[in-house]
């Protein structure tokens, strides 16, 4: 990996959607906490319909050295906002937090210390005491239990928006879909295994309403299944599809052997035996053999595709301020 040369202490990535009421207060809170640090705040406006972008422009005008704004032409989702923020970040430590004031900037220095002094690659917040309705806390508990089981990472709160990373971590991963919930899994898959957590204070929502809903709940579980599969088999899909294909093919061959052996035994004993093609077991074995071949070929094609596909999703940025070269 190319060596990183961070020019400031902290990059704060703040994805947002319709959070105009909280932005000024959030920036002032960050300024109070990080008075002794060099830092930047990267606001990523995910196609807001209110005047969030106008507020970001005002904040940039007041503090052009530390406020960076990125505006999407439409709503792509939180993962897209984080990805663009990660691409733009240049601090030694990168911190993500939500714009709704429920994540306290007071926790940032403690997370920074865990990374710099105790050697963690990633520190995730744990909202041990939550101030959310049951319609959100219960699904969150289910998410966390399922994600711990799938990933083997002992975190209590994967969905907490307040996380801190070494710069190398965010430059090595790519966040898409609803994968922002599972960034620790992406980091682990990229080789960053020192993952810790810190109990953080959860604030009640002061402005606006939660964006959580049934659709995000279902998408989250589907993405968990995807990332669980991809983390194990994305580099070697043949290990999954090929093994499944060989298993089905072998069981089908065994079935044909049993059917044929039973037919021959009956004939040798002078007993009447039905034609093989009249047996439902024959067709089940035949279907299993065909499916086994299909799974094997699927694994072969997936293996070839994984070695040649270098495509990456590009997000259309409508406006950007505060950085002439966002990738530097």
pLDDT of residue 3: 45
pLDDT of residue 10: 97
Local confidence band at 177 (pLDDT 50, 70, 90 cut-offs): confident
Tell me which H or E stretch contains 31. helix 20-33
Strands 67-72 and 317-321: antiparallel
pLDDT of residue 66: 95
pLDDT of residue 138: 74
pLDDT of residue 49: 93
Q: Please list, in sequence order, all residues whose beta carbon lies within 8 angstroms of the beta carbon of residue 228, skipping any fewer than 6 positions away.
A: 150, 151, 185
Number of Cβ within 10 Å of residue 92's Cβ equals: 20
Through-space distance between the first and last CA atoms of the chain, rounded to whole angstroms: 16
- Least confident range from 27-31, 161-165, 185-189, 320-324: namely 320-324
User: What does the chain come to in residues?
Assistant: 328
- Least confident range from 73-87, 99-113, 194-208, 228-242: namely 228-242
Select, from the ranges 33-47, 148-162, 200-214, 312-326, the one with the highest average predicted confidence (pLDDT). 33-47
Q: Give me the percent of the chain exceeding a pLDDT of 90.
A: 44
- In the CATH hierarchy, which top-level class contains the domain 8-234? alpha beta
Whether the pLDDT of residue 29 is over 90: the answer is: yes
More confident residue, 270 or 93: 93
Q: Give me the percent of the chain exceeding a pLDDT of 70.
A: 81
Which among 194, 61, 187 has a CA at the least distance from the CA of 119?
194
Write down the domain spans for the chain. 8-234, 238-307
Cβ proximity of 198 and 107 under 8 Å: yes
- DSSP secondary structure of 234-261: SS-THHHHHHHHHHHHHHHHHHHHHHHH
Read off the tokens for 137: 């806390």
Whether the pLDDT of residue 225 is over 50: the answer is: yes
Cβ proximity of 52 and 296 under 8 Å: no
Local confidence band at 224 (pLDDT 50, 70, 90 cut-offs): low
Local confidence band at 201 (pLDDT 50, 70, 90 cut-offs): confident
Which among 118, 96, 98, 220 has a CA at the least distance from the CA of 165?
96
More confident residue, 191 or 33: 33
- Residue 282: burial class (beta carbons within 10 Å; 0-12, 13-18, 19+): middle
pLDDT of residue 62: 96
């Amino acid at each position: 990996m190319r060596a990183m040369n961070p020019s400031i202490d902290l990059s704060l990535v703040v994805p947002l959607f319709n959070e105009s009421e909280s932005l000024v207060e959030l920036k002032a809170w960050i300024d109070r906490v990080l008075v002794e640090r060099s830092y930047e705040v990267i606001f990523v406006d995910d196609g807001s319909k209110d005047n969030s972008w106008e507020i970001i422009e005002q904040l940039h005008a007041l503090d052009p050295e530390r406020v960076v704004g990125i505006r999407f032409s439409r709503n792509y989702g939180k993962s897209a906002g984080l990805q663009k923020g990660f691409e733009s970040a240049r601090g030694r430590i990168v911190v993500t937090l939500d714009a709704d004031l429920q994540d306290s900037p007071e926790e940032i220095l403690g997370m920074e210390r865990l990374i710099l002094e105790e050697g963690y690659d990633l520190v995730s917040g744990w909202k041990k005491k939550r101030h959310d309705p049951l319609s959100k806390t219960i699904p969150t508990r289910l998410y966390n239990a399922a994600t711990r089981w799938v990933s083997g990472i002992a975190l209590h709160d994967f969905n907490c928006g307040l996380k801190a990373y070494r710069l190398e971590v965010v430059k090595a991963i790519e966040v898409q879909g609803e994968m922002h919930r599972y960034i620790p899994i992406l980091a682990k898959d990229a080789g960053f295994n020192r993952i810790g957590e810190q109990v953080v204070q959860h604030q009640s929502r002061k402005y606006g309403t939660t964006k959580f809903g049934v659709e995000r709940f279902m998408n989250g579980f589907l993405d968990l299944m995807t990332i669980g599969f991809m983390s194990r088999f994305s580099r070697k899909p043949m290990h999954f599809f090929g093994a499944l294909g060989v298993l089905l093919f072998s069981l089908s061959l065994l079935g044909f052997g049993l059917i044929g052996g039973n037919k021959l035994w009956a004939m040798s004993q002078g007993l009447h035996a039905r034609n093989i093609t009249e047996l439902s077991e024959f067709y089940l074995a035949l279907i299993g053999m065909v499916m086994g071949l299909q799974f094997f070929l699927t694994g072969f094609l997936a293996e070839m595709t994984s070695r040649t596909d270098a495509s990456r999703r590009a997000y259309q940025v409508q406006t950007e301020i505060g950085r002439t070269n966002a990738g530097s």
